[in-house]
């Protein structure tokens, strides 16, 4: 018995079986050029390809179309809980469209980010989805010089850049309104690192919401983390607790920072919400599992990833038809057990 493996079918074999020129077969099998071929011819080529079990050569396709069918996805830290659903949303769109997502992490290091972007450029990615934008340093042009770019989760300083974000202003206003309805007037804020857009947006919304309820923001009640983690939340909130400032509730930058606030309270023999009500932001998978379950704002990061991928594919498929724009996705308040009316006039 001959055990010699059958050589893989070539494009010329498909064309011969379909009775067309190889160039016509190539166009019929390519998503970007199929519309230029008659439906009858496309079907003949598809049947021939299926009969021969033909698989297009990605390298050859890349040379022919000047595309690699790859998209670079740049995130800051694989351990951050929002990224798995974000990546799932991206993949649900890109894989269906025939693209492969190349995911890289910068570990929140600018030097590593530059190296990762250079690596993606060397791989000739067709587009970039960037979740590491800051409001300092390089602008969108740094990324768009490599490939068409959509920013997701965070926006750069340039308001004209294409981006998909959560509606943080609405979310923070909802959290403050809930706390005020509970009777809180002294509400602290544990903000994020100062160089990212979400920190600026949420701090601004915090101040605006207090003013809307007739409350003058107190600068002594605002502290910031230097990195987004539970440990950083414990350290920053601990400083606030030890400062002697008077407050009965606190808005944390996100759920991870809020979990750190829980720990800072426990370390001092205090409780949530008995001594301080705590609210977070994002509604990660753990937010309803901690004790007490966390009142927060739910952000659909899977939908955010899908929307960002759709925006980028629109830019790639028809660059002139879809101008860069910013999309704000709706958010939803989730009231759980970490908030309650203040047990005393001011916290000490």
Rounded Cα distance, 36 and 29, in Å: 11
Asked if residues 73 and 104 have their Cβ atoms less than 8 Å apart, the reply is: yes
Per-residue pLDDT of the chain (348 residues; tens, 9 = 90+): 455 566 778 878 888 999 988 778 877 887 666 777 898 898 998 898 888 888 766 655 555 556 788 999 999 888 888 999 999 999 999 988 888 999 999 988 889 999 999 999 999 999 999 998 887 767 888 999 999 999 999 888 888 889 999 999 999 999 999 999 999 999 999 999 988 889 999 999 999 999 999 999 999 999 999 999 999 999 999 999 999 999 999 999 999 999 999 999 999 999 999 999 999 999 998 999 999 999 999 999 999 999 999 999 988 887 766 666 889 999 999 999 999 999 864 444
CA-nearest of 261, 286, 260, 276 to 82 is: 286
Query: Pairing state of beta strands 222-224 and 187-191?
Result: parallel
CA-nearest of 133, 124, 126 to 75 is: 133
Residue 136's CB is within 10 A of a number of other CB atoms, namely 11
Task: Measure Cα distances from 244 to 136, 273, 291 in Å.
Answer: 33, 19, 26
Rounded Cα distance, 307 and 315, in Å: 12
């Amino acid at each position: 018995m001959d055990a010699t493996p059958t050589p893989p079918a070539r494009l010329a074999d498909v064309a011969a079986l379909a009775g067309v020129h190889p160039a016509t077969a190539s166009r019929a099998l390519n998503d970007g050029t199929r519309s230029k071929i008659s439906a009858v011819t496309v079907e003949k080529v598809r049947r021939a390809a299926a009969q021969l079990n033909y698989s297009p050569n990605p390298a050859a396709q890349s040379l022919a179309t000047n595309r690699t069918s790859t998209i670079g996805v740049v995130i800051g830290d694989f351990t951050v809980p929002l990224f798995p659903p974000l990546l799932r949303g991206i993949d649900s769109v890109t894989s269906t469209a025939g693209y492969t997502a190349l995911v890289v992490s910068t570990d929140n290091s600018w030097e590593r980010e530059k190296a990762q972007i250079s690596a993606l450029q060397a791989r000739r990615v067709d587009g970039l989805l960037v979740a590491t934008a800051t409001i300092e340093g390089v602008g969108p042009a740094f990324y768009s010089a490599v490939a068409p770019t959509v920013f997701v989760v965070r926006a750069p300083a340039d308001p004209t850049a294409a981006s998909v974000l959560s509606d943080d202003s609405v979310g923070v206003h909802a959290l403050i309104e809930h706390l005020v309805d509970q009777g809180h007037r002294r509400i602290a804020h544990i903000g994020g690192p100062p160089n990212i857009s979400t920190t600026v947006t949420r701090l601004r919304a915090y101040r605006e919401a207090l003013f809307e309820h007739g409350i003058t923001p107190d600068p002594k009640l605002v502290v910031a983390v230097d990195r987004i983690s539970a440990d950083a939340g414990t350290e920053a909130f601990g400083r606030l607790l030890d400062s002697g400032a008077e407050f009965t509730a606190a808005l944390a930058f996100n759920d991870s920072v809020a979990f750190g606030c829980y720990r800072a309270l426990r370390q001092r023999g205090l409780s949530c919400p008995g001594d301080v009500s705590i609210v977070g932001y994002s509604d990660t998978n753990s937010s309803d599992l901690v004790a007490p379950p966390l009142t927060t704002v739910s952000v659909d990061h899977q939908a955010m990833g899908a929307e960002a991928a759709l925006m980028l594919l629109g830019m790639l498929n028809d660059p002139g038809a879809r101008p860069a724009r910013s999309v704000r996705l709706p958010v939803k308040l989730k009231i759980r057990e970490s908030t309650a009316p203040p047990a005393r006039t001011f916290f000490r």
